[in-house]
Amino acid sequence: MVLFLLLASAFLGLLAGLFPVVGTESEREANPRSSYQPPSLEPLPSPAASNCSQMTLKLDFSSEVVENEYIVAFTGYFSAKARSLYISSALRGTADKKLEWHIVPRENPASDFPSDFELIHIRQASPSSLLTLEDHPYIKRVTPQRKVFRTLKYIPSPEPAVPCNGPPDSQKWQSSRPFRRTSLSLGSGFWHATGRHSSRRLLRAIPRHVAQILQADVLWQMGHTGSGVKVAVFDTGLSEKHPHFKNVKERTNWTNEKTLDDGLGHGTFVAGVIASMRECQGFAPDSELHIFRVFTNNQVSYTSWFLDAFNYAILKKIDVLNLSIGGPDFMDHPFVDKVWELTANKVIMVSAIGNDGPLYGTLNNPADQMDVIGVGGIDFEDNIARFSSRGMTTWELPGGYGRVKPDIVTYGSGVRGSGLKEGCRSLSGTSVASPVVAGAVTLLASTVLNRELVNPASMKQALIASARRLPGVNMFEQGHGKLDLIRAYQILNSYRPQASLSPSYIDLTECPYMWPYCSQPIYYGGMPTIVNVTILNGMGVTGRIVDKPIWQPYLPQNGDNIDVAVSYSPVLWPWAGYLAVSISVAKKAASWEGIAQGHVMVTVASPAENDSEVGGELTSTVKLSIKVKIVPTPPRSKRVLWDQYHNLRYPPGYFPRDNLRMKNDPLDWNGDHIHTNFRDMYQHLRSMGYFVEVLGAPLTCFDASQYGTLLMVDSEEEYFPEEITKLRRDIDNGLSLIIFSDWYNTSVMRKVKFYDENTRQWWMPDTGGANVPALNDLISVWGMAFSDGLYEGDFTMADHDMYYASGCSIARFPEDGIVIAKNLKDQGLEVLKQETAVVEGVPILGLYQTPSEGGGRIALYGDSNCIDDSHRQKDCFWLLDALLQYTSYSMTPPSLSHSHSRVAPPAGAERPLPQRLEGNHLYRYSKVLEAHLGDPKPRPLPACPHLSWAKPQPLNETAPSNLWKQQKLLSVDLDKVALPNMKSYRPQVRPLSPGESGAWDIPGGIMPGRYNQEVGQTIPVFAFLGAMVVLSFFVVQLTKAKSKPKRRKPRIKRPTYLQQQTATAGKNPTV
């Protein structure tokens, strides 16, 4: 009988593991997972049918200015009454006595506390009234109020449904910019794969339970679950009774909608990745979750909402803040200033780097700031996600060089997170990778006993020092590498306050990680190589560099063959600063080839917060190792100089795209640098043996005798008169010039107008795709000019297929030159009148040898889109090769000189040349022009940059042979930080049973409390094994019993110890 009962119990346990538990009717009604459809979104597929919601996240941001509303920023925090008095006092001094204004009420949780800004409405504000406001001693800045639109679309995967734990390549990505969706599809032939694997391979089936993939369960077993850490999610809100969250401390609404709930699902997903306690579990389920609803259900937000919410986050002493938003405007002063203030108050901000990859120079703000942890995305095979934005930062252009970003990468493709009401969904994007790092940071912060050591700098130091570098990927794609949670824990728990560098060394010989530095050796006479290093100061929010950095070359490694100049931040605030290192070759190494090494020593000091002594400081000395390859100076014909100084981009001004077909991405914001959106062109020129250098100063600041060709592409800036004179002299002495122009038509510019944030009026772009009137001034001395015609079309040139995208034509050219013409569509007519016409014989290419003895050559082409990575459809690198052969070696390509498309050079008498747009505001953003009584004029020519070379302090010792070791912080010994002696948990890989929970089951004891409740049903394998063990035991016992001979035993009184054993077994003792 006992055997029968035990076998029945084991069998029932097995059934319980194999089949789902059926609830009551009311429970099933409370669990409408299969029928729920979030508002304004496409219906989600039923989990019963597809096991999991597999979604592609399409994310888009745009903004516009709110008419007549202004944000008045103050120099400190004041009460509402004081702010009103200051504004009234300032506006009383305005000349307009009938000015109508009022303070816009802001009804949110921060309205009862002092604030550092006010939102006012001024009807028909004049520039003078705004200047009067800014003149008040307590008013710092007046900026327009912005309205932000975010478009979130969850698109079901078009492929057959697969389980959430299916292979990672079941996810598809849609670009955040609609125009790029097709060019970034898997079938695109233009965008090259960025992953390390290009051949066919067997894909591993990896679950999307990202917290356990990153081994968060190791820290859970140690008792660390995020307890005591306040984490803020700035997104679309969260439902009050969502079953995944146990510790939601506060939900606040900063929008104009009267709800705290999430109507879209994005905020819920982000919160789930950070702090979900069941099913698709987050990293830190015990953390204090603070939900900031800053987007409406229509996906609208305002700058003032963010500013109020940021102030409230500071007031609530938030520890970690996730911001899965971003945009290209790093000059949005109220927003950027507030981010600095947040981090200065020890708020660790984690932000998505952007979804505009694989194009370079597409970093989003605020993730591109030094004090913010910028996160990029990878897939589950450790390939950089195609959508993840690439560096470098473009703040520093044109004179400097960008910083390394992202800081770190982690899983952002096919990650599982909480559904809108319950259940799980799988999404992709850097807005998914950001909460993965935010959750990891929250969990890591909870492991540190001395929380005073945790700050934005120390946390970033631990993350980047512990990151695992991905092979075959450069630093502008992966930053410091892949997030390693356990190593970060070890570093953080043996950390002491110090300074560190990012990158921690400079090795111009290490490819591909140090691309683009490693792609070209340095040589005497070349433009200095600039490396922009970020200083992270974990000792305090503010700091300084003591004395000057010291340059110490290694004599045995030829360090005296290079010169080094260093510039740096006068103040490191908040938590960070820059160290710009310029490297050049000494004259004595003009014909030498080899490797040179040295290092720069930097000492950082910060006030000691807890030091009882007055003036006490903490100091930290860091070493920046430098290794370069030097080659003899190349011949002049192989050296190409790229003009960066005359390229303008957004921000600060509105400069339109070169291709007018790209209506969904109208701004030129990628920097126009050879290492951003002209990267492919640069790589091609290097492969052809050319040495490409960048000029970040006026044309008066380079030695033309060193270069064969000056390359000007898509120039929007004006030219100093001295530049025009010098260029004419340089070309007469043998320098050649290649110009790739773009469209310029004042009627079209008026058609593609923008809203001016300062004058509150619609205005036209101040240039077209290029500044054609300025270019015409530059080349007029040779009888050349571009027209204001606007053309596009496909054609064939020298047996190459070409596409002309919004280019101009050549209006004038010397009669002894070579001109190539093609039949193209009149795009200007199409834009202005929506009519289509084909123009025959449009001159688009011109080649000219100047008449002076030993003079250079000039080549003109009317469109730059064919060498620009931004929207290139068909490249024309072959044409660039042919033009360089012509300009560098005076070899006229026969395919052009004898082309059937060659026409007589146009004289240009029948059509006037394009004129500058009347009333344009280019002077506001120009380095050349300045305002002068309504008629802009050139500024005085600036002095050429002068580098102060550091005095070397040579070392007669051997340099380290391998600069790339895992970054080590001072006093960090990973062996001293013990981990539990256990096997790392890996969830099993299997499809979900119909009706089964989508969770990965957590073994008992990993997470205390109620995390085991409803995490999942009993695992069938465990139930089956348990039943088999019980069955085997009783079969053995029964066999033994039958094999023994039966003997009648006399009845005797049981000994006391047997009675005690029987009592222990749960039976009543015999009396």
Phi, psi of 627 (to 5 degrees): -140, 125
Burial label, 130 (beta-carbon count in 10 A; 0-12, 13-18, 19+): buried
Helix 721-732, helix 772-779: angle, nearest 10: 50
Report the alpha-carbon distance of residue 884 to residue 708 in Å, rounded. 9
Q: Are 566 and 734 in contact (CB under 8 A)?
A: no
**Strand partners of residue 230:** 288
DSSP code of 522?
B
Q: What is the DSSP string of 318-332?
A: -SEEEE---BS-TT-
Report the alpha-carbon distance of residue 598 to residue 551 in Å, rounded. 7
Structure tokens at 171: 């996810």
Q: What is the DSSP string of 99-134?
A: -EEEEPP--STTTTS-EEEEEEEEET--HHHHHHHH
Phi and psi based region of residue 995 (left: phi greater than 0; alpha: psi -120 to 50; beta: remaining)? left
Sign of CA dihedral 831, 833, 837, 842: negative
User: In 691-726, which positions are buried (b, 16+ CB within 10 angstroms) versus exposed (e)?
Assistant: bbbbbbbbbebbebebbbbbbbbbbbbbbbeebbeb
Estimate to the nearest angstrom the gap between the alpha carbon of 336 and the chain centroid.
15
Q: Are 291 and 237 in contact (CB under 8 A)?
A: yes
Helix 333-344, helix 303-315: angle, nearest 10: 10
SS (H, E, C) 639-678: EEEEECCCCCCCCCCCCECCCCCCCCCCECCCCCCCCCCC
Instruction: List Cα–Cα distances, 572 to 372, 544, 606, 805, in angstroms.
Output: 14, 6, 9, 45
Question: Residue 1014: what residue type?
Answer: E
Instruction: Determine whether 756 is an active site residue.
Output: no
Sign of CA dihedral 319, 324, 329, 334: negative
Question: Residue 18: what residue type?
Answer: L
Report the alpha-carbon distance of residue 951 to residue 501 in Å, rounded. 22
Q: What is the DSSP string of 455-479?
A: -HHHHHHHHHHHPBPPTT--HHHHT
Using the structure block, give the residue that is written with the tokens 């631990």: 462
**Strand partners of residue 786:** 810
Instruction: Determine whether 413 is an active site residue.
Output: no
Estimate to the nearest angstrom the gap between the alpha carbon of 685 and the chain centroid.
27
Question: Residue 931: what residue type?
Answer: A
Helix (H, G, I), strand (E, B) or coil at 270: helix
- Among 235, 332, 356, 658, the one annotated catalytic: 235
Q: Are 791 and 915 in contact (CB under 8 A)?
A: no
How many other β-carbons are positioned within 10 Å of the β-carbon of residue 348?
29
- Among 224, 242, 244, 266, the one annotated catalytic: 266
- Among 129, 287, 431, 741, the one annotated catalytic: 431
**Strand partners of residue 231:** 289, 320
Instruction: Determine whether 116 is an active site residue.
Output: no
Structure tokens at 816: 């002894």
Best CA proximity match to 428, nearest among 366, 386, 382:
386
DSSP code of 884?
H
Best CA proximity match to 691, nearest among 885, 527, 859, 532:
527
Report the alpha-carbon distance of residue 536 to residue 604 in Å, rounded. 10
Which active-site residues does the annotation give?
235, 266, 431
